Amino acid sequence: MAKLSVNINKIATLRNSRGGNMPDLIKAAIDIERFGAEGITVHPRPDERHIKYADVYELKKVVKTEFNIEGNPKEQKFVDLVLAVKPTQVTLVPDSTGQLTSDHGWDTISNKDYLKEIISVFKNAGIRTSIFVDADLKMVEGAKETGTDRIELYTESYAHYYKEKREEIIKPFTAAALRANELGLGINAGHDLNLDNLKFFKQNIPGLLEVSIGHALISDALYFGLENTVQMYLRELG
């Protein structure tokens, strides 16, 4: 069964909107694990508009499952944070400064030398690496050349067209997964996966190891409650 890693950025966004410590991000992470999630994901950005760098250090003390830190390694502050915290996994995302949310994967061909260098830094520290890629065979093949352990398939296009043409839109993702399997790359996925589209995606992605879900899951929790929502997502992955 693919693991569910819950991205808790939106909990931090709510906290930051009023200051103080409500909701309590650290308690939320502990409870999300207790409710059955197999990982906690955070994506600190330079402006700290949701996850603060201090949060990451505090989370490291309490997270018992897999701790995944996402971000742009071209920000030296991010690199220093990851090396200090030593999470289970670092996911490298080509975000620009101030970007609202991730919207594309790496060009693993033109960025090959850079990615090889920075990935080696993290791997030498004993941290599993994953890089954000589009469902493009050339980008998957390029990822192999970087030395990364895993790829994370960027699933926004799948989610966008799921209701309209799911049988068609899943094809490049299945092909990318099959190629990753051939190359010995682990497969993660994330972005706009939700209770409507998650099961079909999981059923069609051979070797899927982990999904990272935040916005949809936290939004669903407003209606269903956090514990129940985590369980609902786990059932979709079962």
Indicate if 210 belongs to the active site. no
Residue 5 backbone phi and psi in degrees, to 5: -105, 125
Biggest alpha carbon distance in the chain? 49
Residue position matching structure tokens 């996966």: 193
Catalytic residue among 50, 66, 152, 191: 191
pLDDT at 174: 98
Q: How many CB atoms lie within 10 A of CB 57?
A: 12
pLDDT at 104: 75
Residue 92 has pLDDT above 80, yes or no: yes
Question: Which is it for the CA torsion 92, 2, 59, 129, positive or negative?
Answer: negative
Domain of 125 in residue numbering reads as 3-237
Indicate if 70 belongs to the active site. yes
Give residues with Cβ within 8 angstroms of 113, minimum separation 6.
none
Indicate if 191 belongs to the active site. yes
pLDDT at 97: 57
The CATH number of residue 145's host domain is: 3.20.20.70
**What angle do the packed helices 25-34 and 226-237 form, to 10 degrees?**
50
Return the minimum-mean-pLDDT range out of 35-44, 91-100, 108-117: 91-100
Residue at 195: amino acid letter: L
Distance CA 125, CA 142 (A): 23
Terminal Cα distance for the chain, rounded: 6
DSSP 38: S
Give pTM, 2 decimals.
Answer: 0.95
pLDDT digits (tens, 9 = 90+) for 136-163: 999 999 999 999 999 999 999 999 999 9
Catalytic residue among 33, 50, 66, 70: 70
By the 8 A CB rule, do 13 and 214 touch?
Answer: no
Catalytic residue among 33, 43, 152, 236: 43
Residue 99 has pLDDT above 80, yes or no: no
pLDDT at 75: 93
For the chain, how many structural domains are there in total? 1
pLDDT at 102: 53
pLDDT at 131: 98
